[in-house]
Amino acid sequence: MGVLVACLTTGKGTWGAVSDAMRSADWTKIYIVTNKFGKEKFTHQKPFEFIEINSDGSLEEIRDSVASGLRGKILDTEAGLNMESGTGKEHMAILSALLRLGLGVRIISSENGKLKEL
């Protein structure tokens, strides 16, 4: 199906939405962008890799952390991106990192257990 990159930090009920997006397709690889708390607490039955960020960092610091964590790992030309969890600052930094890496982005979600592209 391709690669999924998902933001997983703050927002009531948003971890469930990220979990649903992870289950909604047969992703070749899943990257979860999260803070220290998310890295310590989030689990899922599907395999995934964390990219830890400092949510209190600057936009550039968060962007660079994400880019560094993904550099050389996504061989496709695009990635599915789920931003149902997190803050606008984190979303901007993740999107900027993906674009700087030369990737196209498909904004995705899950509805009734099925992948939904916005």
Class level of CATH domain 6-117: alpha beta
Question: Which pLDDT score is estimated for 113?
Answer: 87
Query: Radius of gyration (Cα) for the chain, nearest Å?
Result: 13
Residue ranges of the domains in the chain? Answer: 6-117
What pTM value is reported for the model?
0.96
- The pLDDT, as a whole number, for residue 6 is 98
Q: Please give the structure tokens belonging to residue 23.
A: 């289950």
Helices (H), the chain: 14-23, 36-41, 59-70, 88-100
State the pLDDT at residue 13.
Answer: 87
Tens-of-pLDDT digits for all 118 residues of the chain?
799 999 999 998 899 999 999 999 999 999 999 999 999 999 999 999 999 999 999 999 999 999 999 999 999 999 999 999 999 999 999 999 999 999 999 999 999 889 999 9
- Measured in whole angstroms, how far is the alpha carbon of residue 75 from the centre of its chain? 16
On whether the CB atoms of residues 95 and 51 are closer than 8 A, the answer is: no
The rounded distance, in Å, linking the Cα atoms of 64 and 112 is: 34
